[in-house]
Structure 1
């Protein structure tokens, strides 16, 4: 039994590496495309207009984080057992119920966008000429964030299929950027192109989910939401904890950019955004690993014992920590060169912002296994506590150093990320080394 458990743990880590390799292949291609369209954006718009684009885009991403329900986590968390048991009707009811949650989140996002754009546009230093465009862009982006079909693809461990779907965004943006650049670039043109491309990706994800699991993705399951709730006890509680956690994460991730726009100005927001884009690109592995690890941990918690479960989490965290160190090294040695190469000389000033943001990105990368472990151990509330601590520290730090401009805000992000990392690590260690739902579930499977 111990040998079987060890083999399962090793195969889990191998699947994490394999699925990450699939995503890296797609994201590697996407990163090349991203560099291309980002360079076109910055050079065709200039620092001031790129700042406006960044604030509008950052607002939309924040709204996606706040109102986008991230239902893929719920599909993976509860759908894994349905797939294991080949209960395709139950998996279908769960998936389509999560699709309904996506739609409710989009409606809420449009309402919040109206208040944010028309009520607080001046506070964000948003040009009045872009207010209407910003509102419709935000509405389109929250509708484009369909999460349930991505959960279906990930629960089925078809990360290879996800690569093809997600390639529509970088390809579409490069083509659109070249056309806009050729015919004369405006902020509105880029906003329209970006939202249409994201909506196309959302449609493609639903098509792919239907293709991979036609026995589950059926419209008739939309009316069976009560049965879905009955078949997945604790779903609403898990969903609410997960949603609030993601909302806090969005505030941590995109709040600093909006703070730079409101406290410092549009040009500073442009510098901050480009530096943030580079560190996000360098730390893209964090998002990829989260997708893979979340699905694999959900599978592993019902297949291996508690000791091997801890080893899987440790191996994943160590691999992610090495990748995080590489992110910091690249930012220190090549950060300024990347900024100038992408945006031109007027973006050179963003180099001092790049380093603290790289530190924050590396910490996020190193903590990639923490939240999936907490969720799989039925401790989603503790992940929420960790996010709340991080946000509280971030707000306090930004208010303390706001007179130091965008550089001070960037270091506030790094400091808050460090505190959040330590808090999440402590909670994860406690979850892994104390008797609880994870150990009980594993022991029940083995006996």
Structure 2
């Protein structure tokens, strides 16, 4: 528990610093480019993020889930083969993403209404973003428990963007210069992450371990299935976060979509806390499942779940008390009526936060398909809720989101309860 809290403190500190930097450099970027060019930049950057989500694999989860046993046993050759196995998967996903980027930019640029000047530039930037967003070194750092190192490395991106934004303004702002700077900073961050991982586990990162991909698959039974399930789960989660906004725009128009978007951004800000909690506990649960008895492991799960539940209740109360004021402060009085939308979205974020410990538990106990089933159920409920409640405006779709997250929370709770009870039964029968 103390290690989890320490990990969370490092993550919160790093994300807080990044948030402050991002507010400043986004203000500089938008003001210096103007609305039209900032729109081009946003379209290119947004396309890159979408491609990363579709073509990227969450290899850091695989490193933590299957690498914890090797680290515990000091079996560095096995750990090293797993590193290169995940690295090859990352590289393959990046290449597929580059092919998709080529099709999008050179095949559908007119449909995207993208300026011809930015087609080649946007394609090159997206390729750089895809090649830089590998998560294998992140998994190495996390499974070794070095969240302090991760915080320092991840500070490179917001710090670099902030400094680059001011420098570009001094020499003359344009879309190309911002894209070049953003791409260079992403690549630099990826290189530093790999160097940090190399220095933390030099005995694993030896050349003789490269090429043992087939052996790594044999040494880690279920790793291919785990890859497929976590990829599907993360992709489904990304679609769940973007789908409701598109539904508001389709059914209710752009003005309603704007109000919903601002409320959704605040709710997702609350929801990001659940991601930080999950990242902080993921490696500790993986280690605890290897070295602890089932009773001790279950006690740790209960402790973290109670803390996350308290956080979920706090998020809901904050939305009820300050939702209108926050929206008016950020967007003006016209957005204050979005406070009614923020309430169901915050409730959905609260369910997400309350279940932050569940996915690490199910992954560490060898049941990665359970979170995918829960998210699939949530998506079905969400789609049904959107069609049922769209007549009530953005608030109705907000309640569809809350209902979907509630179903996901209940399904995950049931899965964790069943798995832990089965683990106790197996241990008692030994």
TM-score bracket for the superposition, by shorter chain length: 0.7 to 0.9
TM superposition shift of 1:186: 6.0
- The structure-2 alpha-carbon separation of the partners of 1:399 and 1:61, relative to structure 1 and needing over 3 Å to count, comes to farther
- Is contact 1:172-1:197 (8 Å) kept? yes
Greater shift after overlay, 108-117 or 258-267? 258-267
Matched, 1:253 2:235: no
Greater shift after overlay, 182-191 or 154-163? 182-191
Per the alignment, residue 215 of structure 1 pairs with 203
1:357 to 342, 345, 366: 345
Deviations 1:286-324 (A, max 9, x none): 122111211111111122222222221111111112222
Deviations 1:208-249 (A, max 9, x none): 101111111234433121221122122112222222212211
TM-score, normalised via structure 2 length: 0.85
- Is contact 2:40-2:114 (8 Å) kept? no
- The structure-2 alpha-carbon separation of the partners of 1:16 and 1:198, relative to structure 1 and needing over 3 Å to count, comes to same
Aligned length: 428
- The structure-2 alpha-carbon separation of the partners of 1:66 and 1:181, relative to structure 1 and needing over 3 Å to count, comes to same
Greater shift after overlay, 397-406 or 309-318? 397-406
Secondary structure, counterpart of 2:205 in structure 1: coil
Per the alignment, residue 306 of structure 2 pairs with 318
Matched, 1:168 2:168: no
- Is contact 1:55-1:269 (8 Å) kept? no
Secondary structure, counterpart of 2:141 in structure 1: helix
2:373 to 381, 385, 397: 385
Per the alignment, residue 115 of structure 2 pairs with 129
Once residues 99 and 120 of structure 1 are traced to their aligned partners in structure 2, the CA distance between those partners, rounded to angstroms, is: 31
Secondary structure, counterpart of 1:430 in structure 2: helix
TM superposition shift of 1:65: 2.5
Matched, 1:158 2:146: yes
TM superposition shift of 1:389: 1.1
Once residues 127 and 366 of structure 2 are traced to their aligned partners in structure 1, the CA distance between those partners, rounded to angstroms, is: 33
- Is contact 2:340-2:395 (8 Å) kept? yes
Segments of structure 1 that go 5 or more residues without pairing to the other structure are: 1-12
Question: What are the within-5 Å matches in structure 2 for residues 40-439 of structure 1?
Answer: 40=28, 57-115=45-103, 126-129=112-115, 132=119, 135-179=123-167, 191-259=179-247, 272-339=260-327, 342=330, 351=339, 353-401=341-389, 408-433=396-421, 435-436=422-423
Bigger relative contact order (CA 8 A; separation at least 6): 1
Segments of structure 2 that go 5 or more residues without pairing to the other structure are: none
- Is contact 1:283-1:327 (8 Å) kept? no
- The structure-2 alpha-carbon separation of the partners of 1:163 and 1:65, relative to structure 1 and needing over 3 Å to count, comes to same
Secondary structure, counterpart of 2:145 in structure 1: coil
Greater shift after overlay, 307-316 or 248-257? 248-257
Once residues 196 and 271 of structure 1 are traced to their aligned partners in structure 2, the CA distance between those partners, rounded to angstroms, is: 35
